[in-house]
Amino acid sequence: MNQVRVENPPLLDGFRDGYSVHLDKFDGPLDLLLHLIRRNEVDICDIPIADITRQYLDYIKLMKVLNLDVAGDFLLMASTLLHIKSRMLLPPDDREEGEEEEGDPRAELIRRLLEYQQYKEAGMVIGARALLGREVFARTCSDPALAESRSEEGPLEVSLFELVDAFRALLARIPAESFHDVAPGDSLSIADCINEILSLLWERDTLQFDELVRDEQTRERIIVTFLAILELCRLKLIRIFQNEECGAIWFVPAVAPGQAEVDGEAALPVA
């Protein structure tokens, strides 16, 4: 700590008047870097990399002294800074420069900092607006006379996140053994494949086996597609045709489009 104090008095001054506030204020390594650059009143495009790197590392050390969990993102930036510093210490190597075509090793960091700064400020600007429910209020009640006449006819308003979240909440609720077959499958599941085939068949009347595996001709893909077709066939959802031996395999929906819905409406009272 003494070392830090001698080397970097301005940094510690900040901590003295409330380091805890400063410590949990930074939203990431870029935020911290930007803070150090502003504190040092240096040009963002001409960062004194040795000083800033030292202050950055001091800061991480301080976090460690305070028993804070130092996030990996901060350490990654530390190594980037050290890398830049070491490159700037090396005398320019003609051959290397020719290879990399990059003059200032700080350029990429500067680019990121400028871009980050842009969004940080944009965040502050939009956050300073008069927000609904904070500075501005709309009517919270609908007309009492209308409250009773609720309708469910209008267009549905629900987000995808709500749908997934509902499923997630359900899975969390039911005991593990009863949903082992419901857990999310791997990247390639038979259920996914069935869905894919069904959605393709809603758009077109016929499909070829080759079309289903064309984009991704892996063993796994072909097997899963084949199993999905067998399952669909077993469920009597599709019919399979082959015109000649070793010829193309075609599928058609077993139920003509619309027919299934008619079937459904017959099974249920029409509203």
Partner 1 sequence: MSLSAIIESIIFAADSALSLDRLCEMLPEYERSAIKTALADLVEFHEGRGGGFGLFEVAGGWQFRTSPALQEYVVRHIKTRTAKISQSALESLAIIAYRQPITRAEVEHLRGVDCGGVLKSLLEKKLVKILGKKDIPGRPLIYGTSKEFLEVFGLKDLKSLPTLREIQSLDEMPRFERQEELPLEPDRAPLVERSLPFDEPLNP
> 57 is written with which tokens?
């590392």
Minimum distance of partner 1 from residue 208's CB (angstroms): 18
DSSP reduced 3-state for 51 = helix
Buried/exposed code over 189-221 (b: 16+ C-beta within 10 A; e: otherwise): ebeebbeebeeebeeeeebebeebbeeeeeeeb
Pairwise CA distance, residues 175 & 12, whole Å: 53
Minimum distance of partner 1 from residue 256's CB (angstroms): 11
Minimum distance of partner 1 from residue 211's CB (angstroms): 14
DSSP reduced 3-state for 258 = coil
**Of the two residues 176 and 183, which places its CB atom closer to partner 1 in the complex?**
183
**Of the two residues 168 and 242, which places its CB atom closer to partner 1 in the complex?**
168
Minimum distance of partner 1 from residue 243's CB (angstroms): 25
**Of the two residues 167 and 241, which places its CB atom closer to partner 1 in the complex?**
167
Buried/exposed code over 138-169 (b: 16+ C-beta within 10 A; e: otherwise): eeeeeeeeeeeeeeeeeeeeeeeeeeeeeeee
**What is the radius of gyration, based on Cα positions, of the chain?**
31
**Of the two residues 135 and 244, which places its CB atom closer to partner 1 in the complex?**
135
Minimum distance of partner 1 from residue 95's CB (angstroms): 20
**DSSP conformation letters of 190-239:** HHHHHHHHHHHHHH-S-EEHHHHHSS---HHHHHHHHHHHHHHHHTTSEE
**Of the two residues 122 and 248, which places its CB atom closer to partner 1 in the complex?**
122
**Of the two residues 94 and 203, which places its CB atom closer to partner 1 in the complex?**
203
Query: Given the structure tokens 């990431």, which residue do they identify?
Result: 28
Minimum distance of partner 1 from residue 172's CB (angstroms): 10
Minimum distance of partner 1 from residue 249's CB (angstroms): 20
Phi then psi for residue 17, to 5 deg, are: -90, 45
**Of the two residues 154 and 247, which places its CB atom closer to partner 1 in the complex?**
154
**Of the two residues 71 and 222, which places its CB atom closer to partner 1 in the complex?**
71
140 in Cβ contact with 146 (< 8 Å): no
Minimum distance of partner 1 from residue 254's CB (angstroms): 7
CA 137 to chain centre: 32
